[in-house]
């Protein structure tokens, strides 16, 4: 007859050791699965972050390409603004190196006394110093200015005054013009009243005919005037008239009248 073990299985000798080994293996398996899950999560997160970074990089590159294209489209405007600034500066320097004939004529009309009248008036721009010839040569070759830097503008006046003292007053008044450096009396002749037909007789019986030369300050040098070789300019460059042609600017006046003020 077969023996039957009536001791419960959990109380049998060696049963606890077998159960402990089985439970430990299960825990190890669970721990490994948990570690794999964590690694999978970290891998997925890293892959997602890398994908996001690549997307952001692609977006930044696309924006950079668009910005460069926009800069390329705006480059002509930048060049135009730079060119406009340079031309404005060149024009300002050119204006500063030219003689303002209009202002000089306006000053002449304001300072001339009523007791004096002009018969002729001519304006010229001539060499004013050792460097005026080379400056005129440079300006003529480059075509930048009809009045090269260093030149001296001058007025040559002839006219009549009621008396010799009024001729002296006229000289004093002419020195009040802007930029005048020197006023030189060339001649002053009182009318003899004998009807000899001379220029002094045309000023009336007691009038005085005078001839005056007014010299202005030399023109300033242009800071950016280019140096270019060329033919030498003439010693005197005639002034430009209101009509635009160079030459003498005549001013006719009655013997007893004065310039408008």
Neighbours of 253 (CB within 10 A): 17
**How open is the CA angle 172-176-179, to the nearest 5 degrees?**
130
What is the residue-averaged pLDDT of the chain? 74
pTM exceeds 0.75, yes or no: no
Count of H-run helices and E-run strands, the chain: 4, 5
Could you confirm whether domain 101-238 is CATH 3.30.70.2830? yes
Write down the H helix ranges in 97-112.
Answer: 101-111
Question: Where exactly are the structural domains of the chain?
Answer: 19-96, 101-238
According to the per-residue pLDDT averaged within each range, which of 28-32, 123-127, 167-171, 257-261 is highest?
167-171
Beta-carbon contacts of residue 227 (< 8 Å; ≥ 6 apart): 138
**Mean of the pLDDT values across residues 36-60?**
90
Lowest mean per-residue pLDDT among 39-53, 163-177, 199-213: 199-213
The pLDDT-based confidence of 261 (bands split at 50, 70, 90) is: very low
Tens-place pLDDT, residues 109-143: 999 999 999 999 998 887 654 444 444 444 443 44
Q: With contact defined as beta carbons under 8 Å apart, do 144 and 223 qualify?
A: no
Question: Which of 113, 197, 218 lies closest to 157 in space, CA to CA?
Answer: 113
Task: Give the pLDDT of residue 223.
Answer: 54
The answer to whether the beta carbons of residues 161 and 176 sit under 8 Å apart is no
């Amino acid at each position: 007859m077969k023996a039957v073990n009536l001791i419960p299985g959990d109380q049998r000798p060696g049963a606890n050791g077998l159960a402990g080994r089985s439970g430990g293996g299960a825990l190890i398996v669970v721990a490994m699965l948990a570690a794999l899950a964590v690694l999978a999560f970290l891998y997925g997160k890293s892959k997602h972050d890398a994908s996001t970074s690549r997307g952001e990089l692609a977006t930044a590159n696309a924006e950079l390409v668009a910005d460069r294209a926009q800069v390329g489209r705006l480059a002509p405007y930048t060049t135009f603004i730079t060119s406009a600034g340079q031309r404005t500066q060149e024009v300002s320097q050119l204006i500063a190196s030219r003689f303002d004939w209009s202002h000089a004529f306006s000053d002449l009309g304001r300072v001339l006394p009523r007791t004096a009248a002009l018969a002729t008036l001519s304006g010229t721009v001539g060499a004013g110093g050792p460097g005026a010839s080379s400056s005129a040569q440079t300006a003529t070759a480059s075509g930048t200015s009809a009045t090269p830097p260093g030149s001296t503008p001058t007025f040559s006046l002839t006219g009549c005054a009621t008396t010799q003292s009024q001729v002296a007053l006229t000289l004093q008044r002419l020195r009040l013009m802007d930029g005048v450096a020197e006023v030189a009396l060339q001649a002053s002749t009182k009318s003899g009243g004998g009807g000899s037909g001379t220029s002094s007789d045309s000023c009336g019986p007691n009038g005085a005919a005078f001839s005056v030369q007014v010299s202005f300050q030399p023109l300033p040098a242009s800071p950016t005037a280019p140096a270019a070789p060329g033919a030498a300019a003439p010693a005197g460059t005639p002034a430009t008239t209101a009509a635009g042609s160079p030459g003498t600017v005549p001013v006719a006046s009655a013997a007893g009248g004065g310039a408008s003020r």
